[in-house]
Amino acid sequence: MSSLKKVVMADVLASILDNFDLDNCEDEDRALAASCQVLFSADILPIISLHLRNLASKGGGQCESNTLVLPVLHVNKAFFDAGANLLWEKLGSLEPLFRLLPWFETLCESAQVPEGADTMDWDRFNLYASRVREFTLSRRQAEHPQVWVRDLGSLALQGMPSPIFPRLQSVKISPVDFMTPTTCSLFVSPPLKRLEIGLNDISQEGEPARLLPHLALQATTSSVWNLQSLNYTGPTDEPFFPLVAKLTSLTSVTLYIKDRLDPRTFRNLRELPLLQHLEITSKKSNGVGGDHSMKGLAVHPHSSLVHLRSMKVTAKQYQQCLFIKTLSPKKLKAVNLSFLAANDPMPVHLCLGLVLQGNANLEDLNVRFSPEERGVNPEALPIQSRRHWPSIQEACDALSSALQNSKNLRHVLVHQIPYGLAVPMSRALCGAVPSMGASLTSLRMFPKLKMTRGPGGSTQLAPATAFPGLTFLATAVWLECPNLQHLALHFDAHLVCHENLGEALEQCEERAARDATCKCCSATTKFNDRSKKHRLCVPEISSGTPFDVRALQLPPGRKSRIASFIGSLFPNLRVLKAYGTWAPNIWEEVHELVQSYKTLQRAGFNRRRPCA
For residue range 289-317, what is the model confidence (pLDDT) as tens digits? 555 667 666 777 777 899 999 999 999 99
What is the model's pLDDT at position 439?
94
User: Quick one: pLDDT at residue 25?
Assistant: 47
Give residues with Cβ within 8 angstroms of 573, minimum separation 6.
536, 537, 538, 539, 566, 567, 594, 598
Look at the chain and count its residues: 612
What pLDDT, on a 0 to 100 scale, did the predictor assign at position 515?
78
Cβ neighbours for 113, distance < 8 A, ≥ 6 positions apart: 107, 155, 156, 157, 158
**Segments in the chain below pLDDT 70:** 1-86, 111, 113-114, 116, 140-145, 201-210, 286-287, 289-293, 295-297, 373-376, 450-465, 516-520, 523, 546-551, 580-584, 605-612
Rounded CA-CA distance 57/68 in Å is: 10
- Give the span between the Cα atoms of 214 and 228, in whole angstroms: 18
CA 607 vs. chain centroid, Å, equals 44
**Helix or strand (DSSP H, E) at 496:** helix 493-498
Rounded Cα distance, 282 and 414, in Å? 20
| Residue 54, pLDDT score | 59
- Looking at residue 86, its pLDDT comes to 64
Do 591 and 576 contact (CB within 8 A), yes or no? yes
**479 three-class SS:** helix
Q: How far apart are CA 154 and CA 116, in angstroms?
A: 19
CA angle 147, 149, 153 (to 5 degrees): 110
CA pair distance 289, 381, nearest whole angstrom: 8
What residue ranges in 154-199 does DSSP mark as E strands?
170-174, 194-198
pLDDT at position 584 is 67
Of 171, 164, 170, 167, the residue nearest 186 (C-alpha): 164
Tens of pLDDT, residue by residue over 18-42, are 444 445 545 545 444 444 444 455 5
Q: Which pLDDT value is given to residue 247?
A: 95
Q: What are residue 486's phi and psi, to 5 degrees?
A: -125, 130
Residue 231 contacts residue 199 (beta carbons within 8 Å): no
| Mean pLDDT score across all residues of the chain | 80
Rounded to the nearest 10 degrees, the angle between the axes of helix 585-602 and helix 556-569 is: 60
